[in-house]
């Protein structure tokens, strides 16, 4: 299967098209089957992936508009491999656990299209292809929030669309400018990211381009102060929408920084460490405090997402393998854990049609299984060792300590304030006596919910105890990228800052 | 031998998982029995390992598998059984076994019996990881693991509701559990920073590599690392100002208090200092700070115990105070004495707590010692056990505490830190007083409890299970010499100077006078019943002590409440009114300007021509300006 990546991208889309002729009653089963096949295909990709090879694998290249150097150019390395796996996994799990029954067929087809765009973004090696999938991913999400959302769904979905779209347009300008410079320098047109990597740019060009790309990525992440679309989107989106949004769509932003900003503009990236770190620390502390003030469980998780994305941003700009690998691992960890937490909130919302903590209390005695799984995800979210949440957070903080001890201490408060808001949620919802009559007869997790949540629990523990199968390929690719950045950097400050691991010095 | 290491480590884990299988079903006595048996297996394995290390003098080092590796960082799951860790392993598993068996009786009527054993064994497993790990990151796993188990166990009766602080200073089990977790997270950050400092300066987190590389590090790096690690230790061992969670943690079931909040987990901080002694030996300023803070906490906690009326809280304060003693010894460089006091304290303090558990069981969960009295007759064995434990705590000769605590006080004298010495001596007197105030008020005098309470002795098997602790509380001190030769193979030896040696009789006598004096005072005041002294109870000092120096209230007013208030403000005033309003403002501006501009589309051709003329003029101006600039 040489074209595994193309199959991964287009299989869900084709299956989605075929979904129009599927019977309404069997739409759900159809969707789950397609998502399961897609997940198995991505697993196959992992098993045939050469973990020792740090470069791009399964590369496919078909020229589309040769005169402008635009081609269908895709490939995967250790950095993108696991994000793809997470995207296919969370789509599958989200579908299994989905409780939506209204217009289920439309939902399934939308999700399958969304899956195509998600996989597409992470395999794209051509800027235009990347941009296409990046923007196309907005459409299904707009539809999911707008059609299945809460009372404010139209406002939330339009805000989500326009806000991220604005950022993307600035990024598009950056891309066009980049291609223009490439043409000016080499005399040929190319939108291939790998070609762009090879181009050494003067520092002021790097800075302008960094800023252009920054708007596209930062709004997607979302970084402070561009984050306010997220609480609305989560607040209004149905459970499945929040799961995909938090688990995968946000990672497109942080992935963009790793795929574009760092290797293309190493000097500008080093110069931007402090401003980005300051924003990241504000994200971490400020949104964690805002999360504590929330009355609605889903809003707490939404704001906590922003806080955790701050940790990821910080790690990317640590400029050493510990930090960047940790950051990419944290992307996966946050995807799994926040996805699971949104599903858990969905469970209680389905039963009570409210997400306000004041409505609950004492759920642990009524729904013990639910309380256990929520507890495990809570612990993973606050970064308890031997859960998936610790590995990434620890590596990011460890990595960034080399850049700035003071900023690391500030960012490290996330382990304290993260515990504060999560434990407050748990205490208000699960502990204490059952005071609300409506809660006394709640049913514990049913089979469907258990089957969708237990795999996530297993992953949380497995990757917490033995992260090596995932961390090693990531680390290999990151080390190679750092070696490349170090060679490419033109300023001495950047060369000093970018820390090549001892094990790769002189190698590759 | 390697297999024994894994047996000692994983037997409690198996027990925990087994109990968890029955976690949601009604009480099954065999769950408790199997969990206890597995703990005993773990204890037996630890004892054999201890014997092995004792006879051969060599440490056992096993590496199970790789955990995290990224960049140049490589952290394995490695376990080290040497003189220090094997001492901890033996003490932890011994006390845990007793507490497990005790819990079969104590938790008899609890509907969550199985769940309790699952948590308790999980705690022991985490504690074993903490003491056995061969690197700082592994230690941190155990560190956080015991924290979570402590959270689960303090909040074990999570269904209780919050009450006002005046009614119950701990507010509710779930509140106390969260407080403990969050305070430990604050300290955990310090610990993490310490780990980062070590990693970026040494390049490894393995104890042996780090300790071998210490001479190459600058003193500022060493000081920073030592201080950061000590901040971590302050949280787990509840040193001032991170101490409030420990007394609130008494909301947990009493076996939990005995095991976690007296004998094992809270000593983790002391263990860390002992484990990392090569770092602390090279940082005299930080070490002295540790000793000084420890001495202060010893006195500070003892002062609060003097007036407290809550049976468990008195013991909790006394634990704090004794932890202060251990830090004083460790800070002064007498690591082996600190470790010895840690072990001796584990035995007699666990015994004291379990005795208190018996009293609670008999008194229908009454904790106010002013409402007890005269229990001696009904609870003879408990009386003896608590008496023995209190004698040991007070440091009366032949009992374990005499040897260990006296050695710490002598160390303070030997180091020439006479102020610390004087405070520790005074504290020894206070310790004797509050311990026996508690014993006399509980067991002596006339009964003060309600008539509907019929005190009864604990189950016989529970009393038998407690016997090993009682025996050790008496005889542990006789093994001090052997213990010294054993652990000083690894730890730096600490001997009293010649001068101190000459004065030893005088020094011991001074301490004894204070200890016996304390007991005598308690006897005079309380042995023949309680005579309330209204004037004293209303005095400022008494109230200050009874309210824990108003520190919990201070934290609430100046940290908890402002935090909630600022969070609320950030959300409503900043996030909604500034950040989000700006975004919506831009959107609204664009929308409105479009709306206004729409008015131009009148469909009237002459209007359009006018606008065209305006546009033409504007373009001309732009062209003119750009021509001038160029």
Answer whether residue A303 is part of any domain: yes
Mutation target among A391, A432, A444, A477 for the B interface, most CBs of B within 10 A? A432
Give the A window 376-405 contacts with B, CB below 8 Å.
379, 382, 384-386, 390-391, 394-395, 397-399, 401-402, 405
Query: Under an 8 A CB cutoff, do B140 and A385 touch?
Result: yes
Residues A408, A164: Cα–Cα separation, whole Å: 29
3-state SS assignment for residue A55: coil
ipTM exceeds 0.95, yes or no? no
Of the partner residues B65, B181, B572, the one whose CB lies closest to the CB of residue A419: B181
| Residue B74: DSSP 8-state | E
Query: What pLDDT was estimated at residue A218?
Result: 95
Of the two residues A117 and B601, the one the predictor is more confident about is: A117
Answer whether residue A411 is part of any domain: yes
For B196, name the nearest residue in chain A, comparing CA atoms only: A398
What digits encode the pLDDT tens for the residues B544-558? 988 889 998 999 999
CA dihedral B428, B429, B435, B441 (to 10 degrees): -170
Residue pairs between chains A and B whose CB atoms are closer than 8 Å? 155
The band of A102, judged by pLDDT with boundaries at 50, 70 and 90, is confident
Percentage of residues of chain B with pLDDT beyond 70: 100
Q: What angle do CA B157, B162, B163 make, to 5 degrees?
A: 120
DSSP letters along A459-473, please?
A: HHHHHHH--HHHHHH
Whether A230 and A219 have beta carbons less than 8 Å apart is answered as no
Average pLDDT estimate for A240-250: 94
Closest by CA position to A390, among listed A339, A473, A320, A466: A466
Q: Which residues of B touch A325 (CB under 8 A)?
A: 70-71
Of the partner residues A224, A397, A471, the one whose CB lies closest to the CB of residue B192: A397
Q: Which residues of B touch A465 (CB under 8 A)?
A: 67
Residues B272, B326: Cα–Cα separation, whole Å: 12
Q: Which residues of A touch B579 (CB under 8 A)?
A: 224-225, 227-228
Average pLDDT estimate for A144-153: 91
Give the A window 450-489 contacts with B, CB below 8 Å.
465-468, 471-472, 474-475, 479
Answer whether residue A406 is part of any domain: yes
- A366 and chain B: CB distance < 8 Å anywhere? no
Answer whether residue A159 is part of any domain: no
Q: Which two tokens stand for residue B396?
A: 């009366």
Answer whether residue A190 is part of any domain: no
Average pLDDT estimate for B480-488: 91
pLDDT above 80 for B32: yes
Whether A412 and A398 have beta carbons less than 8 Å apart is answered as no
Give the A window 209-238 contacts with B, CB below 8 Å.
224-225, 227-229
What is the helix (H) or strand (E) element at residue A197, kind and residue range?
A: helix A193-198
Average pLDDT estimate for B43-71: 93
Query: Under an 8 A CB cutoff, do B181 and A423 touch?
Result: yes
What sign does the CA torsion over A411, A414, A415, A416 have? positive
Q: Which residues of B touch A162 (CB under 8 A)?
A: 587
Of the partner residues B72, B185, B568, the one whose CB lies closest to the CB of residue A503: B72
pLDDT above 70 for A508: no
Q: Which domain holds residue A309?
A: 272-483
Closest by CA position to A325, among listed A405, A395, A250, A389: A395
For A425, name the nearest residue in chain B, comparing CA atoms only: B178
Query: Under an 8 A CB cutoff, do A365 and B200 touch?
Result: no
For A370, name the nearest residue in chain B, comparing CA atoms only: B24
Residues B80, B74: Cα–Cα separation, whole Å: 17
What digits encode the pLDDT tens for the residues B516-536? 999 999 999 888 877 788 888
pLDDT above 80 for A503: no
Percentage of residues of chain A with pLDDT beyond 70: 99
Query: Under an 8 A CB cutoff, do B72 and A385 touch?
Result: no
Whether A349 and A355 have beta carbons less than 8 Å apart is answered as yes
Mean residue pLDDT of chain A comes to 93
Q: Which two tokens stand for residue B11?
A: 């037997």
pLDDT above 90 for A440: no
Whether B75 and B69 have beta carbons less than 8 Å apart is answered as yes
Residues A338, A320: Cα–Cα separation, whole Å: 26
| Residue B46: DSSP 8-state | H
The band of B1, judged by pLDDT with boundaries at 50, 70 and 90, is confident
Give the A window 112-151 contacts with B, CB below 8 Å.
none
- How many alpha carbons fall within 13 Å on the CB side of residue A337? 33
Of the partner residues A286, A405, A502, the one whose CB lies closest to the CB of residue B72: A502
Q: Which two tokens stand for residue B79?
A: 């376990």
Query: What pLDDT was estimated at residue B532?
Result: 80
Query: Under an 8 A CB cutoff, do B67 and A466 touch?
Result: yes
Query: What pLDDT was estimated at residue A25?
Result: 87
DSSP strand pairing (B60-70 vs B73-81): antiparallel
Taking the CA of residue B443 and the nearest CA in chain A, the distance in Å comes to: 35
- A293 and chain B: CB distance < 8 Å anywhere? yes
Average pLDDT estimate for A409-434: 94
Average pLDDT estimate for B435-448: 89
Query: Under an 8 A CB cutoff, do B175 and A413 touch?
Result: no
Residues A271, B466: Cα–Cα separation, whole Å: 65
Tally of structural domains, chain A: 1
Query: Under an 8 A CB cutoff, do B161 and A391 touch?
Result: no
Residues A114, A112: Cα–Cα separation, whole Å: 5
Taking the CA of residue B555 and the nearest CA in chain A, the distance in Å comes to: 15
pLDDT above 80 for B436: yes
Answer whether residue A312 is part of any domain: yes
Answer whether residue A390 is part of any domain: yes
What digits encode the pLDDT tens for the residues B130-157? 999 999 999 999 999 999 999 999 999 9
Residue B417 gets the label, from left (phi > 0), alpha (psi -120 to 50) or beta, of beta
Q: Which two tokens stand for residue B337?
A: 């004495």
Taking the CA of residue A403 and the nearest CA in chain B, the distance in Å comes to: 11
Query: Under an 8 A CB cutoff, do B178 and A397 touch?
Result: no
Query: Under an 8 A CB cutoff, do B178 and A427 touch?
Result: yes
Percentage of residues of chain B with pLDDT beyond 90: 74
Mean residue pLDDT of chain B comes to 92
DSSP letters along B265-277, please?
A: GGGHHHHHHHHTH
Mutation target among A307, A363, A385, A503 for the B interface, most CBs of B within 10 A? A385
Mutation target among B70, B157, B173, B184 for the A interface, most CBs of A within 10 A? B70
Taking the CA of residue B590 and the nearest CA in chain A, the distance in Å comes to: 12
Percentage of residues of chain A with pLDDT beyond 90: 86
Whether B248 and B170 have beta carbons less than 8 Å apart is answered as yes
Average pLDDT estimate for B98-120: 92
Residue A70: CB atoms within 10 A of its CB come to: 19
3-state SS assignment for residue B70: strand
What digits encode the pLDDT tens for the residues B250-303? 999 999 999 999 999 999 999 999 999 999 999 999 999 999 999 999 999 999
The band of A505, judged by pLDDT with boundaries at 50, 70 and 90, is low
Query: What pLDDT was estimated at residue B57?
Result: 87
Query: What pLDDT was estimated at residue B186?
Result: 93
For B575, name the nearest residue in chain A, comparing CA atoms only: A228
Q: Which residues of B touch A228 (CB under 8 A)?
A: 575, 579-580, 583
Answer whether residue A344 is part of any domain: yes
What digits encode the pLDDT tens for the residues B341-370? 999 999 999 999 999 999 998 888 888 888
Judged by average pLDDT, the poorest of B184-198, B233-247, B597-611 is B597-611
Taking the CA of residue B286 and the nearest CA in chain A, the distance in Å comes to: 20
What digits encode the pLDDT tens for the residues A263-280? 999 999 999 999 999 999
What digits encode the pLDDT tens for the residues A38-97? 999 999 999 999 988 888 999 999 999 999 999 999 999 999 999 999 999 999 999 999
Q: What share of chain B is helix, strand, coil (3-state, %, to 5)?
A: 75, 5, 20
């Amino acid at each position: 299967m040489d074209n595994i990546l193309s199959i991964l991208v287009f299989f869900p889309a084709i299956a989605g098209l075929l979904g129009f002729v599927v019977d309404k009653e069997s739409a759900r089963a159809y969707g789950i089957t397609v998502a399961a096949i897609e997940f198995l295909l991505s697993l196959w990709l992992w098993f045939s992936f050469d973990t020792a090879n740090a470069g791009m694998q399964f590369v496919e290249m078909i020229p589309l508009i040769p005169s402008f150097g635009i081609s269908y150019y895709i490939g995967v390395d250790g950095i993108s491999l696991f994000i793809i796996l997470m995207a296919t996994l969370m789509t599958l799990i989200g579908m299994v656990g989905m409780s939506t029954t209204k217009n289920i067929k439309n939902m399934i087809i939308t999700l399958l299209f969304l899956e195509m765009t998600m996989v597409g973004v992470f395999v794209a090696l051509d800027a235009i292809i990347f941009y296409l999938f990046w923007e196309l991913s907005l459409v299904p999400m707009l539809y999911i929030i707008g059609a299945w959302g809460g009372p404010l769904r139209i406002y939330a979905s339009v805000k989500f669309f326009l806000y991220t779209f604005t950022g993307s347009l600035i990024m598009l300008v950056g891309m066009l400018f980049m291609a223009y410079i490439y043409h000016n320098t080499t005399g040929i047109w190319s939108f291939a990211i790998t070609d762009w990597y090879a181009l050494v740019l003067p520092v002021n060009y790097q800075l302008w381009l960094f800023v252009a790309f920054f708007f596209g990525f930062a709004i997607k992440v979302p970084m402070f102060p561009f984050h306010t679309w997220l609480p609305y989107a989560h607040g209004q989106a149905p459970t499945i929408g929040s799961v995909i949004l938090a688990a995968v769509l946000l990672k497109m932003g942080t992935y963009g920084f790793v795929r574009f900003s760092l290797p293309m503009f190493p000097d500008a990236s080093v110069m931007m460490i402090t401003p980005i770190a300051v924003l990241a620390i504000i994200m971490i502390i400020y949104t964690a405090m805002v999360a504590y003030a929330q009355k609605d469980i889903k809003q707490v998780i939404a704001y906590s997402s922003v806080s955790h994305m701050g940790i990821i941003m910080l790690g990317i700009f640590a400029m050493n393998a510990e930090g960047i690998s940790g950051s990419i691992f944290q992307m996966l960890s946050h995807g799994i854990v926040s996805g699971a937490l949104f599903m858990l909130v969905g469970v209680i919302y389905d039963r009570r049609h409210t997400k306000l903590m004041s409505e609950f209390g004492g759920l642990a005695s009524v729904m013990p299984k639910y309380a256990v799984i929520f507890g495990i995800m809570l612990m993973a979210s606050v970064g308890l060792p031997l859960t998936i949440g610790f590995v990434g957070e620890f590596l990011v903080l460890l990595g960034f300590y080399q850049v700035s001890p003071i900023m690391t201490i500030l960012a490290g408060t996330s382990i304290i304030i993260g515990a504060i808001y999560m434990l407050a949620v748990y205490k208000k919802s699960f502990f204490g006596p059952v005071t609300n009559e409506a809660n006394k007869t709640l049913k514990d997790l049913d089979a469907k919910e258990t089957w969708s949540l237990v795999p996530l629990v297993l992953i949380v523990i497995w990757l917490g105890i033995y992260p090596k199968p995932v961390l090693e390929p990531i680390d290999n690719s990151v080390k190679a990228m750092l070696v490349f950045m170090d060679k490419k950097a033109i300023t001495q400050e950047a060369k000093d800052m970018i820390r090549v691991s001892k094990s790769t010095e002189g190698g590759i | 031998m390697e297999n024994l290491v894994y047996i000692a480590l994983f037997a409690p884990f198996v027990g925990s998982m087994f109990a968890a299988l029955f976690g949601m079903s009604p009480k099954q006595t065999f769950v408790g029995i199997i969990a206890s048996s597995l703990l005993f297996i773990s204890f037996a394995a630890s004892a054999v390992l201890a014997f092995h290390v004792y006879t051969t003098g060599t440490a056992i080092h096993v590496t199970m598998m790789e955990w995290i590796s990224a960049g140049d960082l490589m952290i394995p799951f490695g376990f080290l059984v040497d003189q220090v860790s094997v001492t901890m392993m033996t003490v932890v598993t011994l006390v845990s076994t007793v507490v497990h068996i005790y819990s079969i009786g104590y938790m008899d009527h609890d509907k969550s019996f199985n769940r309790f054993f699952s948590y308790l064994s999980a705690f022991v497993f985490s504690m074993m990881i903490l003491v056995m790990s061969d690197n700082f990151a592994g230690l941190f796993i155990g560190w956080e693991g015991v924290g979570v188990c402590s959270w689960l166990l303090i909040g074990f009766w999570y269904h209780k509701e919050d009450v006002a602080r005046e009614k119950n200073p701990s507010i509710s089990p779930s509140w106390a559990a969260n407080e403990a977790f969050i305070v430990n997270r604050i300290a955990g950050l310090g610990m993490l920073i310490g780990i980062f400092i070590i990693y970026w300066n040494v390049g490894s987190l393995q104890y042996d590599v780090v300790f071998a590389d210490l001479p190459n590090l600058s003193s500022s790096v060493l000081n920073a690392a030592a201080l950061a690690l000590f901040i971590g230790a302050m949280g787990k061992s509840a040193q001032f100002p991170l101490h409030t969670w420990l007394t609130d943690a008494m909301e947990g079931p009493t076996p939990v208090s005995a095991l976690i909040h007296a004998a094992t987990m809270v000593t983790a901080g002391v263990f860390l200092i002992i484990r990392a002694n090569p770092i602390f030996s090279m940082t005299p300023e930080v070490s002295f700070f540790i000793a000084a803070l420890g001495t202060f906490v010893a006195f500070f906690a003892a002062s609060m115990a003097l007036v407290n009326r809550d049976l468990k809280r008195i013991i909790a304060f006394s634990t704090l105070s004794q932890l202060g003693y251990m830090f004083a010894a460790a800070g002064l460089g007498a690591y082996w004495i600190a470790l010895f006091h840690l072990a001796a304290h584990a035995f007699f303090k666990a015994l004291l707590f379990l005795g208190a558990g018996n009293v609670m069981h008999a008194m229908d969960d009454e904790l106010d010692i002013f409402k007890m009295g005269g229990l001696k007759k009904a609870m003879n064995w408990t009386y003896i056990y608590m008496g023995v434990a209190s004698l040991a705590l007070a440091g009366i000769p032949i009992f374990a505490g005499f040897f260990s605590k006296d050695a710490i006080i002598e160390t303070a004298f030997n180091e020439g830190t006479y102020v610390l010495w004087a405070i520790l001596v005074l504290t020894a007197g206070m310790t004797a007083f509050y311990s026996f105030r508690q014993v006399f008020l509980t067991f002596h005098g006339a009964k003060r409890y309600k008539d509907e309470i019929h005190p009864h002795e604990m189950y016989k098997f529970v009393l038998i299970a407690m016997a090993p602790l009682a025996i050790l509380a008496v005889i542990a001190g006789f093994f001090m010499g052997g213990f010294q030769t054993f652990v000083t193979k690894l730890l730096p030896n600490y001997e009293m100077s010649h001068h101190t040696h000459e004065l030893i009789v005088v020094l011991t006598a001074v301490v004894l006078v204070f200890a016996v004096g304390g007991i005598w005072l308690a006897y005079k005041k309380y042995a023949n019943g309680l005579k309330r002294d209204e004037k004293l109870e209303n005095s400022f000092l008494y109230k200050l002590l009874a309210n824990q120096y108003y520190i919990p209230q201070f934290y609430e007013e100046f940290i908890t409440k402002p935090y909630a208030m600022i969070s609320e403000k950030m959300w409503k005033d900043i996030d909604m009114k500034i950040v989000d309003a700006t975004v919506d403002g831009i959107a609204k501006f664009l929308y409105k300007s479009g709306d206004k501009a729409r008015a131009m589309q009148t469909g009237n051709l002459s209007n359009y021509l006018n606008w065209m003329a305006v546009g033409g003029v504007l373009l001309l101006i732009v062209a003119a300006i750009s021509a001038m600039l160029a």
